[in-house]
Amino acid sequence: MRVEPDLQFIKFLKGAGGDTLKNCYQCATCSVKCPLSTDTKPFPRKEMIWAQWGMKDRLVADADVMLCHQCGDCTAYCPRGAKPGDVLGAIRAYAYTHYGFPQGLAKLASNGNNLPILIAIPALLILVMWFISGGMHLPDAETLHEVGFGHFFGHWDFKYLTKNVFFIDIMMLPAFAFGAFAAFRGVSAMWKGMVANANVNTQFKPSLKQFVEQFLVPSVKEILEHRRFNECGTNADRVSGHRPLVFAFIGLFIVTNYALISKDIVGIFMPELHGPIGQLNPIKILANVSAIALIFGIGTLWANRARTEEENNTTATFYDWFLIGEIMAVGVTGLVAELSRLIGVPVLAYLFYYMHLVSVFMLFIYMPYTKLAHMAYRTFAMAFEKYRESNFVKKEEA
């Protein structure tokens, strides 16, 4: 087999936390410790040699790379300090950029030097929309208490849809749709690569119903149960941060959809729903609990990451810290905005609400290119893992 190393790919890995990959001398200790490894597929031993050889195309289409939960056992037991877990993390970071759509935005979001631009884009957009709306003024404490942030983008007498909801919708819905579409494009490309890489004959395809029931739903269930996290040794405590974070996102997703339905649809017939949700409303309680769980979860992962970098001399990367900082910004700005509203400080409430809108917009639009993309890529890699072991593939092999 002729190998043509991609030197730029190797350079990227070194700069994204995989600077120790050349230390690997194929002793296979990592494969002995990893539950993903088999006799015929020594993981991550084979990935380490592919990375050294710069075999980019094979690595970005390797399902095992996405299945890795970075439990840290391979890194802890490596006698040469090659840190396979960090190398695999760097490969995933490259894959999100490689599959990113559009490529210009994917590359922009992959470089820490572009952070001011990444923040400035949504910050200026929302600022311009705020100016256009005519709502760029501070309310008094009484109005803030009565309508909450319902007049942030101004007010009109059109009873079927408030001005505030209208402006938020025309910004956030396209941002969310764009992020979801870009993730779909990337995952679809990855799936085709995994099929080719695993020599899977596509003659026997499951129907959409079969795919969802047999492969996708079991993968989602496994993720919610954190089954593979519980197999970790060195980084087993990561589950204490990851689990509340996952359920916080689920809770906030429910709250957001409730607000969308109640204010945009039901609110057409019941305009009173356009006001702030009461503090004792079950949805409001879920929102507050989810926000606290979000901050607790990401704070735990923040502390774990900082400790790992200090104890294991792990390289700090933009790939890891951008997502941590972004999620923390979403949680803190939202919570502080709400607290400022409750105690009646309009200037703080509006300032942090603006920052909250910016951070949420960033979360949506940059999701396909950051570490958060593993929600989509790992889920479908787990579905592919089940698919390649299923009768659909075995029929072809027979």
Is 363 contained in some domain? yes
**Which tens digit of pLDDT belongs to each residue from 31-83?**
998 888 888 889 999 999 999 999 999 999 999 999 988 888 888 889 988 88
Using CA atoms, how far apart are residues 9 and 144, in angstroms rounded to an integer? 52
Residues 92 and 174 in one domain: no
**Which tens digit of pLDDT belongs to each residue from 270-280?**
766 666 777 78
Q: What is the 3-state secondary structure (H, E, C) of the chain?
A: CCCCCCHHHHHHHHHCCCCCHHHCCCCCHHHHHCCCCCCCCCCCHHHHHHHHCCCHHHHHCCHHHHHCCCCCHHHHHCCCCCCHHHHHHHHHHHHHHHCCCCHHHHHHCCCHHHHHHHHHHHHHHHHHHHHHHCCCCCCCHHHHHHHCCCCCCCCCCCCCCCHHHHHHHHHHHHHHHHHHHHHHHHHHHHHHHHHHHCCCCCCCCCCHHHHHHHHHHHHHHHHHHCCCHHHCCCCHHHHHHHHHHHHHHHHHHHHHHHHHHHHHCHHHCCHHHHCCCCCCCHHHHHHHHHHHHHHHHHHHHHHHHHHHHHHHCCCCCHHHHHHHHHHHHHHHHHHHHHHHHHHCCHHHHHHHHHHHHHHHHHHHHHHHHCHHHHHHHHHHHHHHHHHHCCHHHHHHHC
Identify the pLDDT of residue 274.
67
Q: Provide the residue type at 359 as one letter.
A: S
Cis bond upstream, residue 44 (ω within 30): yes
Residues 15 and 163 in one domain: no
Residues 168 and 226 in one domain: yes
Total structural domains within the chain: 2
Give the rounded percent of residues in the chain with a pLDDT score beyond 90: 53
- At which of 83, 98, 113 does a domain end? 98
Using CA atoms, how far apart are residues 200 and 194, in angstroms rounded to an integer? 8
Residues 166 and 73 in one domain: no
C-alpha angle 21-26-27 in degrees, rounded to nearest 5? 120
Residues 186 and 314 in one domain: yes
Residue range(s) defining the domain that contains residue 34: 7-98
Residues 256 and 343 in one domain: yes
Is 212 contained in some domain? yes
Q: Provide the residue type at 192 as one letter.
A: K
Using CA atoms, how far apart are residues 381 and 62, in angstroms rounded to an integer? 9
Identify the pLDDT of residue 398.
38
Average pLDDT, the chain: 88
Is 357 contained in some domain? yes
Is 1 contained in some domain? no
Q: Name every residue whose Cβ is closer than 8 Å to that of residue 200 and which is 6 or more positions away in sequence.
A: 194, 387, 388, 393, 396
**Which tens digit of pLDDT belongs to each residue from 332-358?**
999 999 999 999 999 999 999 999 999
Identify the pLDDT of residue 393.
81
Identify the pLDDT of residue 205.
81
**Which tens digit of pLDDT belongs to each residue from 155-207?**
888 777 788 888 998 999 999 999 999 999 999 999 999 998 877 776 678 89
Report in angstroms the alpha-carbon separations of 12 from 51, 109, 309: 11, 14, 19
Residues 314 and 360 in one domain: yes
Find the range with the poorest average confidence among 14-28, 224-238, 276-290: 224-238
